[in-house]
Amino acid sequence: MKYWLMKSEPDDISIDDLQHSPQQTMSWQGIRNYQARNFIRDEMNTGDSVLFYHSSCKVPGVVGIATVVSQPQRDDTALDPQSRYFDPKSDPSKPRWWQVDIQFTAKLNHIVSLQQLKSDPVLRDMVLVTKGARLSVQPVTAEEFCHIVSLGQ
């Protein structure tokens, strides 16, 4: 099993949206960064755990936990001209963009803020707190995952 941090603006998709979606499951689509895409396409598997992170909001931070519940698959929003994620260079026979489905696992009792994450010595090597790290999908170690979840309880 691997561990991930996935960022979403809460105005787009929030932990509450995930919790209240059918079967508490959503497709994580619209990723248009090649490195984030490669993590999804090449390294994610069913059963992986996800820290759900709210970004671009008043208090950015980890707000919940989800589980990857599908193998990586073609992101069809890239093929839909009506989608804001449309990519005219996408080819259905040779997908450029990938997605996975995630399922709600739990909401943390309180947000573990970016400020708190940055100031925690246990997390000093975490990708998220590295200068210039802005990926919406990024790996997390098992130790980092467990530590953050404990901070949110």
Tens-of-pLDDT digits for all 153 residues of the chain?
Answer: 999 999 999 999 999 999 999 999 999 999 999 999 999 999 999 999 999 999 999 999 999 999 999 999 999 999 999 999 999 999 999 999 999 999 999 999 999 999 999 999 999 999 999 988 889 999 999 999 999 999 999
**Strand blocks (E) in 3-135:** 3-8, 25-28, 49-54, 61-68, 73-74, 98-113
Helix locations, 7-94, DSSP H? 15-19, 34-38
pTM: 0.96
Measured in degrees and rounded to the nearest 5, phi and psi for residue 62 equal -80, 130
